[in-house]
Amino acid sequence: MTHIGRSFFLARKDVVGIVVLAILLVVVLPLTLDSFRLQFVGKYLTYAFVALGLVLCWGYAGILSLGQGVFFGLGGYCMAMYLKLEASSVENTKIQSTPGIPDFMDWNQITELPFFWKPFHSFPLTLVAIVAVPALFAFIIGFAMFKRRVGGVYFAIITQAIAAVLTILIVGQQGYTGGINGITDLRTLHGWDIRTDAAKTVLYFVCVALLFACILLAYYVKSSKLGRILVAMRDKEDRVRFSGYDVANFKVFVFCLAAALSAIGGAMFTLQVGFMSPSFVGIVPSIEMVIYCAVGGRLSILGAVYGTLLVNWAKTSFSESFPELWLLGLGGLFIAVVLAFPNGLAGIWQTYVAPRLGFLSGTKPTDPGAAPVAAE
Amino acid sequence: MFSDYSLTELGSIFVMQGFAGLILFSVFLLMALGLAIIFGQMGVINMAHGEFMILGAYVTYFTSQFFLNYLPSLFGIYFFIAMILAFIASGALGMAVEWLMIRHLYKRPLDTLLATWGLSLILQQVYRSVFGPREVGVELPGWMMGSLNLTDAIEVQINGLFVMGLTIAITIAVALLMYRSSWGKQVRAVVQNRTMAGAVGINTERVDRLTFGLGCGIAGVAGSAFTMIGSTGPTAGQLYIVDTFLVVVFGGAQSLIGTIASAFTISQAQSTMEFFLSGSMAKVLTLLGVIIILMLRPQGLFVIKVRR
């Protein structure tokens, strides 16, 4: 945390917020939770990357994507393909009819590694692909749609349809993708066993570090001129266009950025949980990721992390003890957060808690994204 | 892929798959009609539309059980009563939802999407708790079973024909209501200019509520018809919601003709391809085609110019 003190893009209260979150994630949770529970938190935090992307894309730029699971999944699958290839070395798979290819391909009578799997033999290429593939995909979708001034509701529906298509495709092409089970039985990363408790703890801290890097990036985007254009675009798109900005380019950029953030989350998910499956790609997970962001407050970068942790913690504890209640609770949460708390936890914090804590709000919070409700 | 079949066989395959496509078309169209009213006319995204449909299906199931147990002599006509009950149940629920939730969100279409998604989760869980997680199917009256043999290779099911006839009737009724009645004129006036419609004395809140109720009621009838050709479970509605939205968007949201045309195109494409490819690939290709066309032509197939 080198940003304490004077910083060119973080306000004082942001620094305090980041430090508090850092203490919580780096010190408090690892000390208080056992290894098993900490792995859960690590898993939740991978969704926080998606929520972070949604804050930028939906909260600030007003673009609601219901297909973030696609990018989460693409990132996760890229990582899973690398790990799977490493786990399917020739000596590990010598009982197969074709040794050296992943087991599910062998079960589906595929005798040669498909071409799009080949780059994933290389670790550097995999790392590039994790960010580049989803970002490129987002670029194609965004470019095609924003250039034609498709937005709002239509964009949401089409991204949702894309999530549906990708899920059906992955499930249907079992031989190439592992089908409904996904890519399972992942063992080592560059020779390092990721299944041990010690490895999972290390991965937790890697995940936290990456998350903070992404949070700082998000703050940077938010405070830059770009961030202000995004907000202006959300509130009065035509005026920004008349001022000479190419609105579509900004939208494409922020959509790609959100996709890349989701993909990093997906890759960390694969590493920590040890598999990737289409159940994290489809319509339902994609829209659940929106609710993480909405609960935290669609305009609050840190709120997205808290929202994700809270909703997932509630999901895990409710589905353990009262599985029937969870869907009712989640449904109620969707409705409540829209009707009663459109700014989520962050809104509650800013209205009720922050004014009583003078040291946090030396100046009145003048968030550039205020009054989101007016956004169409 | 055609080389394995003779020419007459191919012809029969196309006719049979075309017929299967027509049944799919009927389901799509019935669901899309309600959505076209709610989304096309009011601009509200109702993600719970599938659950309104399932409510209609459950109502039909219970009506059939009632007739089976208490009025077996009238079992042949239970479906018509069930359909009316389904319309009333779904419509009433729709009006309640509009009053409690949707009317606060007319200015925030993306938020209606999230709120109605929440509603759909709640309804699914309620169905699961109240009606049980098992899929239920209705018993068809005798006259609806069996099939007609047109030639040796071609046969069509009577229940499918019935659903198709029903779809046509409902579509005509909706078209008359929207384009020939004074109420339909009020609805369109509110859509085109809410403030002015209010200024000339139309009770816009009442029109909104009735329009939403009508859309949901039609979804209920769609669910009712759906029981004739498939079984009903708590989550069956969600399977169709994306397809239905694509149908409406693809057709051009404000156009009834467009909805019909796009439902026809999508269902025929899907069912014809299903024979030659696996079901999942047929679906992928159809949806992908629709998405690509929508990217090139975002306003949909048919456009009505509305001054905004």
Overall average pLDDT of the B49-58 stretch: 91
Residue in A146, A149, A168 to test binding to B, most B beta-carbons within 10 Å: A168
Flag if B118 and A338 touch (Cβ within 8 Å): yes
pLDDT digits (tens, 9 = 90+) for A339-362: 888 888 888 888 888 777 765 544
- State the count of interchain CB pairs (< 8 A) between A and B: 123
Residue in B284, B293, B297 to test binding to A, most A beta-carbons within 10 Å: B284
Flag if A157 and B111 touch (Cβ within 8 Å): no
Confidence of residue B153 (pLDDT cuts 50, 70, 90): low
Among the residues of chain A, which ranges form H helices?
12-22, 29-32, 35-54, 68-87, 103-107, 123-146, 152-172, 174-177, 197-223, 225-235, 237-242, 247-273, 283-296, 301-321, 323-339, 344-348
Instruction: Tell me which chain B residues have a C-beta less than 8 angstroms from the C-beta of A322.
Output: none
- Asked whether residue A3 is assigned to any structural domain, the reply reads no
Confidence of residue A5 (pLDDT cuts 50, 70, 90): very low
pTM for this structure?
0.86
- Of the candidates A157, A335, A342, the beta carbon closest to that of B249 is on A157
Flag if B45 and A157 touch (Cβ within 8 Å): yes
- % of chain A residues with pLDDT over 90: 36
Tokens for B6, please give them.
Answer: 């003779």
Amino acid at B133: P
Residue A4 pLDDT greater than 50, yes or no:
no
Identify the contact set of chain B against chain A, taking CB-CB distances under 8 A: 43, 45, 101, 104-105, 107-115, 117-126, 128-129, 238, 242, 245-246, 249, 278, 280-281, 283-284, 287-288, 290-291, 294-296, 298
Collapsing DSSP states into helix, strand and coil, what is residue A193? strand
Confidence of residue B150 (pLDDT cuts 50, 70, 90): low
How confident is the prediction for chain B on average, in pLDDT? 83
Q: What is the pLDDT of residue A15?
A: 87
Measured between CA atoms, the residue of chain B closest to residue A373 is: B108
- Of the candidates B110, B128, B246, the beta carbon closest to that of A156 is on B110
Collapsing DSSP states into helix, strand and coil, what is residue A66? coil
The residue range of the domain holding A294 is 12-374
Residue A53 pLDDT greater than 90, yes or no:
yes
- Of the candidates A294, A324, A374, the beta carbon closest to that of B125 is on A324
Q: What is the pLDDT of residue B4?
A: 66
pLDDT digits (tens, 9 = 90+) for B262-289: 888 888 888 878 777 777 888 888 888 8
Measured between CA atoms, the residue of chain A closest to residue B126 is: A328
Instruction: Please give, rounded to a whole number of angstroms, the shortest distance from the CA of B219 to a CA of chain A.
Output: 19
pLDDT digits (tens, 9 = 90+) for B55-80: 999 999 889 888 888 888 777 788 88
- Asked whether residue A6 is assigned to any structural domain, the reply reads no
- Which are the contacts of A292, defined by CB distance < 8 A and separation ≥ 6? A47, A48, A50, A51, A54, A304, A307, A308, A311, A312
Label the pairing between strands A188-189 and B155-157.
unpaired
Q: What is the pLDDT of residue A375?
A: 37
Please indicate if any CB of chain B lies within 8 Å of the CB of A324: yes
- % of chain A residues with pLDDT over 70: 93
Contact status, residue A264 vs residue A181, Cβ threshold 8 Å = no
Instruction: Tell me which chain A residues have a C-beta less than 8 angstroms from the C-beta of B294.
Output: 150, 154, 158
- Residue written as tokens 């057709």? B251
Between the alpha carbon of residue A202 and those of residues A39, A148, A193, the distances in Å are 10, 45, 11
Confidence of residue A366 (pLDDT cuts 50, 70, 90): very low
Measured between CA atoms, the residue of chain A closest to residue B103 is: A339
- Asked whether residue A7 is assigned to any structural domain, the reply reads no
Instruction: Please give, rounded to a whole number of angstroms, the shortest distance from the CA of B97 to a CA of chain A.
Output: 12
- Of the candidates A160, A164, A338, the beta carbon closest to that of B111 is on A338
- Residue written as tokens 């149940």? B89
- Mean pLDDT lowest for which of B119-123, B132-136, B139-143, B165-169? B139-143
Residue in A60, A108, A149, A157 to test binding to B, most B beta-carbons within 10 Å: A157
Q: What is the pLDDT of residue B122?
A: 92
Q: What is the pLDDT of residue B152?
A: 66
Instruction: Tell me which chain B residues have a C-beta less than 8 angstroms from the C-beta of A141.
Output: 295
Amino acid at A136: L
Overall average pLDDT of the B32-46 stretch: 84
Measured between CA atoms, the residue of chain A closest to residue B111 is: A338
Number of separate domains in chain A: 1
Overall average pLDDT of the B165-186 stretch: 88
- Of the candidates A145, A156, A375, the beta carbon closest to that of B113 is on A156
B66 HSE (CA, 13 A, CB side): 12
pLDDT digits (tens, 9 = 90+) for B202-246: 888 888 899 999 999 999 998 888 888 777 888 877 778 888 888
User: Across-strand partners of B155?
Assistant: B149
d(CA A167, CA B266): 19
Instruction: Tell me which chain B residues have a C-beta less than 8 angstroms from the C-beta of A328.
Output: 121-122, 125-126
Label the pairing between strands B155-157 and B147-149.
antiparallel
Q: What is the pLDDT of residue A358?
A: 62
Interface of A with B in 264-323 (CB under 8 A): 283, 287, 290-291, 294
Instruction: Tell me which chain A residues have a C-beta less than 8 angstroms from the C-beta of B45.
Output: 153, 156-157
What ipTM was assigned to the predicted interfaces of this complex? 0.83
Flag if A331 and B249 touch (Cβ within 8 Å): no
- Of the candidates A152, A162, A290, the beta carbon closest to that of B114 is on A290
Higher pLDDT, B73 or A308: A308
Higher pLDDT, B96 or B246: B96
User: Across-strand partners of A260?
Assistant: none
Residue in A155, A286, A298, A334 to test binding to B, most B beta-carbons within 10 Å: A334
Measured between CA atoms, the residue of chain B closest to residue A375 is: B108
Overall average pLDDT of the A268-292 stretch: 90
Residue B303 pLDDT greater than 70, yes or no:
no
Please indicate if any CB of chain B lies within 8 Å of the CB of A4: no
- Of the candidates B115, B238, B283, the beta carbon closest to that of A168 is on B283
